[in-house]
Structure 1
């Protein structure tokens, strides 16, 4: 076989692949090299069982099957001056058992879906025929399984891919017409649709005017997560979610996407950024997706990117459960994450854990440590996170919409139902606003700061402050200097109690206070340690800088005056004209309210 010539590299590969299929081994491309002209001049193909065995599982008690056993069989060829490709290197000796032809056809390199098979799968899937029946019809048509060049799993993968991309002309047109109709009634409604090279719809993003106004108010911190919300096309639902003044989830916009890769996320994030007038958030929380990390760094270079802490810590059992001292390792890992008030303390506990339990070879822990600035709380202390460290806001939003759609929901209906769900979400916010303005929480102490916060904060946020205020009874001075104070807190964890020490810096004359727990930076609520120091220094009123506009109930917020598209559809022409005037008048009122003179002028 050495010296055999072929017209192209592909022809040489196909020859070796067919040879491998008959002999019973898989074939894969190992390497290639280019000449100075940039053209490929040399390639090598090897047995698919070449290379060293390496388990992909980090749990030694749950190994995964691996085909690699170091087989040295290979074929190498190069491009000659006459334009022919010739075999130069050949080794036909294998170190493993070769399969029969009836089994070797299941190697990945030998499986393929013909254009005809793909077309028939698509047609039958559109007709609602189940996958097992769809596959069986192709088997029967081919005259039996021995004549089929693909598996049922290949068919399933193809159908899932096509469902994400497949939006028929009627679906795409109906969706676009719906968006345009909404936009004609509300010119601030935003939508964007991306198509592939064949003109099929790939990705969609939209945001109602209320969503955009809410982003102006609460878009400093955003959570983003893609989960497969049930819909006819199996497309990931991608909502951008934040937290409103009640601490409830609020939607800024969302998309339906065909893939979860760099190209798709780039389009989605750029589109969202354009929708929000190029205003970037202070922080964004996502899962550990590598493609998302690359895109966020490129599009939001000044935004702090945080990984969902819950998603990371829930993997501990899977990644470390095989270790004999798993329980002790888990406790120490949680201690490093939650009890470290500084990066230095985290690294001290972490390194002690690695050495004590001989974890230096654990790739998962090594990767987490290298990326610690993306997920460990003490590295995030200098940024505001509105009390969020996980993407569960996004997940709860998915669960909320799940009650409005099902497996038969077509895309246009999905968007319409989205609007209905949004209206329900808005109604809950309106009800909570009314409760805050018509009801008042009783104070449980005589401190003026409690009344101060109660009078301006929403009920739920006041309750968070009240919890910190009453919990200062568990705090006690350990050491106190002019501006630096050491406070000890007795903390109960389960059945156990432990004492934790916090450093509080307080300058009464300047109205400056900070604590090593960094709760104010994280949640926007002063911690019990800071409150304890203020009270014991005869400072019973909070400085104005520690009363955040974000949690106040007594401010006018533009998004609360904007109707959803669901409400606009049900309006009469007179009501629509009224709505348009209200929006324009609101802009005037926003400017006029800045001083008494302009306010009286407009009123007159």
Structure 2
């Protein structure tokens, strides 16, 4: 017999018989009570656990031991659960991992492991089927949890039955979020019941109570109800299975904002918003108050070219306007779709995502020099002059030859991220998709990867509500903005929004630190603007005294931001120009932004060749109200049509075409509504998106990425056989 001493119990093993015998010695329970540490944040629990205690089930043992420990416990067990160990989650030591990345750029992570010795060991008495405690160490070497912290632990959170019933009743109203339900339960319905649940528990309760078999059909019905309030939507089903594959929607506020501010559009895809794994594509614009406005959303079955093309086609059909500048994160499938649908649009890339890609691709090659490379790379990328940028980028490639191949790839896309090229266009001061990422964060704050599709519309509505509140605050700030002491910008401040006013006042203050000198090397009207602390660095400003509004600056901020730069303001003061022309500011920053002319909308609608199946009439109005509204819209058009014979004939023909188009639209609408009422939309299949899946090791690779990798392989030369298309590791001759 061989014996191993374990605390106050001895486990003996008979090697010949292959059996294990457990002998438990008596123990003094007072010594266990004295073993609790004197901690200000933890006290001994009233639930005592001692050696020899018996538990009928493993769940009962886990619950009692957790209550006794006043701390979360982890479980380790032998095969067939014969021996169980409950360990403090602070126990053990954090394993050190070897990284190829330098420690200077590694993320600082703090471990909770402090080798806590607390442990409770149980064994299964197979004769009686109960678990018995045979060893324990109740010492902790860290502060314990308070009662409030223990109440928030998952094993201590629960919702009473009467509270569950009331939560489900409030959820059936269809207009309350989980946080609002929680507030009503705590303050109105059950103020005396102690709160032992969180918002996440309410979400799980509502999700379990919901019938998931028809949730997609309910999602389409919700969009149909939204269409009665001005929303437009369209969806596509699989012809064989009637499962949802794609769905697109756009709100009336989003459509209105896009018509006004279609010069800059951001598109981004986010995941983990629904239990089917369908990627969510969001479209956002920037209004004249500098606020990010969510315009439309789309759920796709995958992130491939065909799906993105369908989404962009739907967005184009409901807005009838093409964007001027687009920002995306560099998705190659999305880039192909943009080039196909909007070939004349200027597609720019997010500089933040470029920085992330550089870090992932070059961290192992540059190691400790990565930070220096990033600083120098973005210094070159921020150069405004094209010739200077080309020269500096060539110097950068020659200096960092270890990553020259990657720099060539970025050089091929330089017109999409380098300021020397992107600042030739108005971008509203945007150089990344961080505004879009902020909207993604707002929507996903109330969503989980296992929630139904209905919650996405709730998140969409929440973002729109928050945008309306911010718009009201921005309008108040614009109306009560204080005037400036600088007469040069006073005229401009009267017509600009508060967002543009703040920027212009900042530029005016900074212009006082600059000096202006006439450029003798050029013709009259050219001036060199330099900072007092950096006299060798200057910008070139050209001013025509008779046409001040045509002035230009080498920084081009008046072009890509739409606001006069500090260099121009300094030059205006030097030349005694008393007021900055308001025409030099982009119209989108004005208080009353110009909208699309009613006449142009009328002509576009009349001459449209394709019917819009999602046309919705105004609901909730009487016949007299509808007649008055249509009369008010057509009255100015009729007055303009009688000016001349040619104008009259043009408007007459347009009205005839418009009448035919409306009739076709109404027929299509009635047919679509009848089909929608009869058709049952089945739940979609789980989508497969890019990136590494939760289960498995192989990640999904898009077709565009596969083509790019094949092109890269063609340029690879094997060091063994000197042939192209493979390397020495995959060479078949070795």
Q: Smaller-chain TM-score range?
A: 0.5 to 0.7
Is residue 2:267 matched to residue 1:224? yes
Contact 1:231 1:409 in 2 (8 A): yes
- Deviations along 1:188-222, one digit per CA (max 9) or x if unpaired, are x2111122343211121100122111111011110
Structure 2 counterpart of 1:548: 586
Shift of 1:457: 1.0
Partner of 1:508: 545
Which residue of 379, 394, 401 corresponds with 1:351?
394
Residue number in structure 1 paired with 2:216: 172
Aligned to 2:509: 470
Is structure 2 residue 523 aligned with structure 1 residue 485? no
Structure 1 residues 432, 229: closer, same or farther in 2, change over 3 A?
farther
Which residue in the other structure is 2:483 paired with?
442
The change in CA–CA distance for 1:572 and 1:509 in structure 2 (over 3 A counts) is closer
Offset from partner CA, 1:34-79 (integer Å, 9 cap, x none):
xxxxxxxxxxxxxxxxxxxxxxxxxx9569xxxxxxxxxxxxxxxx
| More displaced 10-residue stretch of structure 1: 295-304 or 540-549 | 540-549
Of the candidates 340, 352, 360, which is equivalent to residue 298 of structure 1?
340
Q: Counterpart of 1:330?
A: 374
Partner of 2:323: 281
Please give the root-mean-square deviation of Cα atoms over the aligned residues, in Å. 3.2
Unpaired stretches in structure 2, ≥5 consecutive residues: 1-98, 103-210, 598-617, 641-734
Helix, strand or coil: the match of 2:284? strand
* Alignment-derived partner of residue 210 in structure 1: 253
CA distance 1:578–1:335, change in 2 (3 Å): farther
- How far apart are residue 387 of structure 1 and its match? 1.1
Question: 2-side partners of 1:363 and 1:581: how far apart?
Answer: 67
Tell me by how many angstroms 1:556 deviates. 7.2
**Deviation at 1:584?**
5.3
Q: Distance in 2 between matches of 1:219 and 1:259?
A: 27
- Is contact 1:240–1:253 with CA below 8 Å preserved after alignment? yes
SS in 2 for 1:247: coil
2:11 aligns with none
SS in 1 for 2:580: coil
Question: Among residues 384, 393, 414, which one is paired with 2:435 in the alignment?
Answer: 393
The answer on whether the counterparts of 2:558 and 2:585 sit within 8 Å (CA) in structure 1 is no
Determine helix, strand or coil for the equivalent of 2:469.
helix
Partners of 2:589 and 2:639 lie apart in 1 by 21
What corresponds to 1:190 in structure 2?
Answer: 232
- Select between 583-592 and 268-277 the one with higher mean Cα deviation: 583-592
Assess if the C-alpha contact under 8 Å between 1:478 and 1:487 holds in 2: yes
1:383 aligned residue: 425
Counterpart CA distance in 1 for 2:451 and 2:635 is 42
Structure 1 position 185, deviation (Å):
4.0
Deviating more after overlay: 410-419 vs 241-250? 410-419
Whole-Å separation in 2 of the counterparts to 1:283 and 1:293: 13
Partner of 1:522: 560
Instruction: Go from structure 1 to structure 2 and tell me whether the alpha carbon gap of 1:590 and 1:259 turns closer, same or farther (over 3 Å shift).
Output: farther
Cα pair distance change 1:342/1:585, threshold 3 Å: farther
Q: Report the CA distance shift for 1:577/1:407 in structure 2 as closer, same or farther (over 3 A).
A: farther
CA shift for structure 1 position 260 = 1.1
Q: Of the two, which has the highest radius of gyration?
A: 2
1:405 partnered with 2:443: no
3-state SS of the aligned residue for 2:274? Answer: coil
Q: How many residues align?
A: 407
2 CA distance for matches of 1:312 and 1:412? Answer: 34
Residues 363 and 231 of structure 1, relative CA distance in 2, 3 Å threshold: same
Distance 2:311 2:270 in 1: 15
* Alignment match, 1:272: 315
Q: Secondary structure at the match of 2:269?
A: coil
Q: Secondary structure at the match of 1:246?
A: coil
Are the counterparts in 2 of residues 192 and 205 from structure 1 also a CA contact under 8 Å? yes
Counterpart in 2 of 1:25? none
Q: CA deviation at 1:442?
A: 3.4
**Is 2:414 the counterpart of 1:372?**
yes
Give 1:329 shift: 2.7
Q: Secondary structure at the match of 2:270?
A: coil
Instruction: Give the drift of 1:225.
Output: 0.8
1:181 to partner: Cα distance: 2.3
Kindly indicate whether the alpha-carbon contact (under 8 Å) linking 1:229 and 1:398 is maintained by their aligned counterparts in 2.
no
The 1:582/1:309 distance shift into structure 2, 3 A limit, reads farther
For 2:637 and 2:509, how far apart are their aligned partners in 1? 41
Once residues 289 and 637 of structure 2 are traced to their aligned partners in structure 1, the CA distance between those partners, rounded to angstroms, is 26
In structure 2, distance between residues paired with 1:546 and 1:410:
49
CA distance 1:280–1:573, shift in 2 (3 Å): closer
Q: 1:267 to 1:228 in 2, by over 3 A?
A: same
CA contact (8 A) 1:383 1:522 kept: yes
Secondary structure at the aligned position of 1:362 is classed as helix
CA distance in 1, matches of 2:397, 2:356: 19
User: Is the 1:195–1:201 Cα contact (8 Å) retained in structure 2?
Assistant: yes
Q: How far apart, CA to CA, are the structure 1 residues paired with 2:278 and 2:466?
A: 24
Counterpart CA distance in 1 for 2:303 and 2:254 is 24
3-state secondary structure, aligned to 2:567:
helix
Deviates more, 1:397-406 or 1:197-206: 397-406
> Alignment partner for residue 464 of structure 2, among 419, 422, 437?
422
Q: How far has the Cα of 1:406 moved from its partner?
A: 3.4
Q: Distance in 1 between matches of 2:471 and 2:215?
A: 33
Q: Aligned to 1:259, what secondary structure does the other structure show?
A: coil
With the length of structure 1 as denominator, give the TM-score of the two structures. 0.62
- Given the superposition, is the C-alpha separation of residues 281 and 581 from structure 1 closer, same or farther in structure 2, using an over 3 Å criterion? farther
- Which residue in 2 is equivalent to 1:17? none
Separation (CA, whole Å) in 2 of partners of 1:393 and 1:585: 41
Q: Distance in 2 between matches of 1:274 and 1:226?
A: 20
CA contact (8 A) 1:308 1:390 kept: yes
Q: Distance in 2 between matches of 1:577 and 1:62?
A: 71
